[in-house]
Structure 1
């Protein structure tokens, strides 16, 4: 089963724990590369994506649940496929909404038992880049459902039904079956005398260099620091606000698994990084990928989401700035440096001056583990603290356009908000959303408030 954790994180970061290293100032906002800069998938890219066009379903497909299918229904009957672990549905026009239901069932690799039907969340524009951003206007983008983690499988069946009264489904519906592959082999070979990591490709060197003030080149994780150590490494150095110097309210830096640690192949994302000015708010999400994964599989889930966001959906990189698995492990998301204000694609209309934190799983009816709530509190206490933000306070953001707030409207949010606060959506799930008040209180305590 292709689920090995790149964890075997064999690098030592003890030196970082003992040396107070100042954070680099956030880079100035830069324009992203043109859409044509998105590279084709290299032939030797770990994993694979099978893209299967959907077709009209016949009357014998059972798509209607009563042995019948409607003219608008599309899907695929049971079939054998190459092994995969994550799936989703994409279509041609990113502005077209899929008003309907998507259900799949799968067969575990090597077995003959099929799963029950599972729902795939059909949101199309709840996440993603803001409409007027270069990424949002990219011609590479496609409409897409949420990805669903189904585990190691080699058989699939899918049915897509339009809602009553909807005459048709979006054009170009395709089922994407993603094998996240093994994590790329460790290519770190040391550091040249110039301080540049040797043995790393240019994109990987850039991604690891973005965290150079926090951990050695090629590190699989950024080590945790105590509150006192965190204050020594940050106070007086950007991006900490000047007002923080007298009384810093910065939470202890948590351990963060880097992109190297979870096995991101840096060759598939667009080159370069895009930054916003600051971080005022943290939007909490769930990935809607389901809870049928082990914590050892979380890096594979992340590699699958990354591949789906970039190669299937046409995004410049994975959309979230951070991810947290159900055991509370924190992962670096979009490349550019965990301490820097990287512009994400997570809360349509409010990506500017915010960060997105995705809890891997679905939390509409499932209660998030205590470890998840603690991890969100610790992460936000540190990252919001770097920018002088009180987790129990409120902040004002300007809408880039969405279904709740018109473009240009100034909106007041909790500093730790749920996705549904900025967009009409169920995300981050009722059960996770209900934990946010506790998260705000805990986060503030970690800051010493």
Structure 2
């Protein structure tokens, strides 16, 4: 494990030079529709349909004036849905509801709400990712399963505004809907082939250059092209950390670190590495972990979790305009841990998970929605196991406090130093419901368990 914090550039280049015959440039286009039948064997690209919304005909019994959406229609297969608009700074003060038709059965779902307040997940102001001009406003994505029909409606809500004139001092007005709203229908693509075969390229064992680069940054932890990083016991994890530090003066003094958990790599969940930007962006260290829920709903099986992650990844990049998936790690309801943003699971990769606090932190998203649903114990345990290891690499106590400097947000002004729990909820850094009340209430349990795993 020596050099786990070394520059990823040298490792990536070395891996690419070592495998010139394994690299494939004949990749299928990322927007190839899954229903077209043209996808190469073993490919996982998926597709995104982007449909502009329009004002729906007024109906006193069914719709409010100015309501936008799409009437019921048949579309190409998809499994994840969201709404985006032109201005990332514009808030959608309203309600978004969708209903979908299940593929193969023709049965339509009831109306489902999509979480509209998603501006709290974003790259930090002043970063290249934030200022590149590609960002869009968006709802959270919602996982609906295999579907081939859709209907959506977006209704503005009344908001209270202050008026300095005669009483009353405030009045209810209908907020305008954002301009350029579009419905995004995401097909996450087929599952990766079994037995560790590649998600990209027609030949078994073949890796494209982007896939090799994403895998090479984990070369100290798993073989190139591995679908999972294996778990290590506590003693072995401690020994490798000591070795990575060049050996301590007294190796009998054990570092505070939890055993390394098993982590499904991007290769393992089928990431199409051609979607993201090619380089990796790092901060100097990891001082804190922010816990999120994905707000994609709880209607998925654990076997579907890789598909849900591929859908979120494509939504973040193709629909929202980010450089990669925003979270550093993802955890499903069964407690499986997945590598998120590319750059190496042991490295301080800059994420786009907590607006204003992405520097020197990591973001962990639990797949699901936990405002009123209880988070599975396996997921809370996985938070503890992951943080005990990852924070331990940087000498951080999971049950302690730390200071982060805000890059700007709705709670803290830019440049303000903020004292936070090392394991915080998203709402601690931004005014948001995330990670949901019931998951937030479990963070104390996760802190205690994580510190115990470190031997504190």
TM class by shorter chain equals 0.7 to 0.9
Contact 2:74 2:149 in 1 (8 A): yes
Q: Deviations over 1:210-253 (max 9, x none)?
A: 10000011000000000001011111424999999833000000
TM-score in terms of structure 1 length: 0.87
State yes or no: 1:347 paired with 2:354.
Answer: yes
User: 1:94 matched to which residue of 2?
Assistant: 88
Corresponding position of 1:69: 64
SS in 1 for 2:207: coil
Q: Deviations over 1:325-377 (max 9, x none)?
A: 00000000000000000000000000000000000000000111110111000
Residue in structure 2 matched with residue 405 of structure 1 by the alignment = 412
- Aligned to 2:131, the other structure's residue is in SS state coil
| Cα distance change on mapping 1:388 and 1:157 into 2, 3 Å | same
Cα pair 2:192 2:269 within 8 Å, conserved: no
Which residue number in structure 2 is paired with residue 4 of structure 1? Answer: none
1:78 aligns with one of 63, 72, 78 = 72
SS at match of 2:244: coil
Q: How many Å separate the matches in 2 of 1:124 and 1:439?
A: 25
SS at match of 2:333: coil
How big is each residue's C-alpha offset from its partner over 1:374-410, in whole Å with a ceiling of 9 and x where there is no partner? Answer: 1000000000000000011000000000000000000
Residues 174/375 of structure 1: CA separation in 2 closer, same or farther (3 Å cut): same
Alignment pair present for 1:213 and 2:220? yes
Matches of 2:250 and 2:86, distance apart in 1: 49
Larger Rg: 2
SS at match of 1:235: helix
Correspondence 1:424-443 to 2 at 5 A: 424-443=431-450
Deviates more, 1:46-55 or 1:407-416: 46-55
State whether structure 2 residue 21 is matched by structure 1 residue 22. Answer: no
Q: Residues 386-425 of structure 1: matches in 2 within 5 Å?
A: 386-425=393-432
Aligned in 2, Cα 1:433/1:188: closer, same or farther, shift over 3 Å?
closer
| Distance (Å, rounded) in 2 between the aligned partners of 1:372 and 1:157 | 33
Distance 2:417 2:247 in 1: 25
Task: Determine the structure 1 residue equivalent to 2:101.
Answer: 107
* C-alpha distance in structure 1 between counterparts of 2:138 and 2:48, whole Å: 15
SS in 2 for 1:260: helix
Alignment partners' CA distance in 1, 2:348 and 2:314: 23
CA separation of 1:174/1:188 partners in 2, compared to 1, >3 Å: closer, same or farther?
Answer: closer
Residue correspondence of structure 1 range 284-303 to structure 2 within 5 A? 284-303=291-310
Decide whether aligned partners of structure 1 residues 321 and 241 sit closer, same or farther in structure 2, where only a CA change above 3 A counts.
farther
- Which whole-Å CA distance do the structure 2 matches of 1:440 and 1:244 have between them? 27
Contact 1:24-1:213 at 8 Å conserved across structures? yes
Instruction: From the superposition, tell whether residues 446 and 215 of structure 1 become closer, same or farther in structure 2 (CA, over 3 Å).
Output: same
Cα deviation code 1:416-439 (max 9, x no counterpart): 000000000000000000000010
- Looking at structure 1, the residues matched to 455 and 128 of structure 2 have their Cα atoms a distance apart, in angstroms, of 39
Query: 1:34 is matched with which residue?
Result: none
Flag structure 2 segments of 5+ consecutive residues without an equivalent: 10-28, 33-38, 159-172
Superposed, which structure 2 residues align to 1:194-273 within 5 Å?
199-238=206-245, 246-273=253-280
- Is this contact kept in 2: 1:240–1:386, CA < 8 A? no
Alpha-carbon distance in 2 for matches of 1:318, 1:187: 20
Aligned pair count reads: 409
Q: Which residue of 2 aligns with 1:56?
A: 55
For 2:185, the equivalent position in structure 1 comes to 177
3-state SS, counterpart of residue 129 of structure 2: coil
Alpha-carbon distance in 1 for matches of 2:342, 2:249: 26
What SS does the corresponding residue of 1:285 show, helix, strand or coil?
strand
Say if 1:238 and 1:117 are closer, same or farther in 2 by CA, change over 3 A.
farther
Q: For the structure 1 residues 241 and 282, does the alpha-carbon distance in structure 2 shift closer, same or farther, using more than 3 Å as the test?
A: farther
The secondary structure found in structure 2 opposite 1:136 is helix
Task: Tell me the SS of whatever aligns to 1:437.
Answer: helix
Alpha-carbon distance in 2 for matches of 1:301, 1:218: 21
Candidates 368, 372, 394, aligned match of 2:375? 368
- Is 1:448 aligned to 2:448, yes or no? no
**Do the aligned residues in 1 keep the contact of 2:350 with 2:359 (CA within 8 Å)?**
yes
SS in 2 for 1:86: strand
2:380 corresponds to 1:385: no
